[in-house]
Amino acid sequence: MTLSIPANLTVSNSVPSSLDNGSQPPVSEAEMIQAVRTLLIGLGEDPDREGLVDTPKRMVKALKFLTQGYQQSVDELLNGAVFTEDVNEMVLVRDIDIFSSCEHHILPIIGRVHVAYIPNGKVIGLSKIARICEMYGRRLQVQERLTAQIADAIEGLLKPQGVAVVVEATHMCMVMRGVQKPGSWTVTSAMRGIFSEDARTRQEFMSLVRHNPQFH
Ligand SMILES: Nc1nc2c(ncn2[C@@H]2O[C@H](COP(=O)(O)OP(=O)(O)OP(=O)(O)O)[C@@H](O)[C@H]2O)c(=O)[nH]1
Ligand SMILES: [Zn+2]
């Protein structure tokens, strides 16, 4: 049986975007392309040379792709895939690849996400967990907020006994520039409900995340 999600369900997203009310951004694509041309000139390049002539257009297209999560909502991607199910054991989807962009430098954050929850009468389509990670990942982020938003979304949708999210990521702003520390990984977690209250449940989650699966 499919449960319908209340139309007024909103999932907390503590960072307001100019797109939150569903409106179009207040600059045209042509203005964005012009801005990239200006950047290229500022870098000492000639935006009219053959190799760069389409670069502003391509860069705007790429950035729009990398931030397409602004155009998406949890309700939309869920497509009603919340099901009534009488189970109360942990569900874990681990090793969800994530490509996000850091909001300070607009450089890639590359990593993986592990999401677990303990149901309370409702389960969610497994792919929707990955889609939720994808939606919040495809925005300008800090890793801590990305982690919390994923946990809050699952909690808001399912009202489960608990939710646990761990994000492990490497930040290109710490690798390619700045402090230049390739090999550094940042691990963030968000624990809700029973995962924050009960150390054994949290421990079970962490050991499942660490377990080496048989199949890759
Ligand atoms: N907490 C947090 N910090 C981040 C994240 N991504 C980037 N940062 C940090 O944001 C900070 C911005 O610091 P600033 O001193 O304003 O910028 P900066 O001069 O470019 O800093 P450096 O990277 O140290 O060169 C840096 O310490 C980055 O490492 C993130 O996801 N979470
Ligand atoms: Zn950064």
The pTM assigned to this predicted structure is 0.90
Ligand nearest to the CA of 177: 1
179: Cβ below 6 Å to ligand 1? yes
C-alpha 10/C-alpha 157 separation (Å) is 9
Spell out the domains of the chain, with CATH numbers in brackets. Answer: 29-70 (1.10.286.10), 81-210 (3.30.1130.10)
- Is 104 a known active-site residue? yes
Token digits for 21?
Answer: 């009310």
* pLDDT digit string, tens, across residues 177-195: 999 999 999 999 999 999 9
Look at residue 23 in the predicted model and tell me its pLDDT.
73
pLDDT at position 104, please? Answer: 98
CA 100 to centroid of ligand 2, rounded, Å:
11
The percentage of residues in the chain with a pLDDT greater than 70, rounded to a whole number, is 89
Select the highest-mean-pLDDT range: 2-6, 21-25, 132-136: 132-136
Q: DSSP string of 11-51?
A: ---SS--TTTTSPPPSS-HHHHHHHHHHHHHHTT--TTSGG
Position 10 pLDDT exceeds 60: no
* Residue minimizing CA distance to atom 2 of ligand 1: 142
Helix (H) or strand (E) holding 79: none
- Say yes or no: CB of residue 181 within 6 Å of ligand 1: no
Residue 102 CA, closest ligand 1 atom number = 6
- pLDDT tens digits along 140-158: 999 999 999 999 999 999 9
Which of 212, 201, 157, 130 is CA-nearest to residue 10? 157
The verdict on the CB of residue 178 being under 6 Å from ligand 1 is: yes
Q: What is the pLDDT of residue 204?
A: 96
Share of the chain above pLDDT 90, in %: 85
Handedness of CA 135, 144, 95, 185 (dihedral sign): positive
Question: By C-alpha distance, which of 109, 111, 157 is closest to 132?
Answer: 157
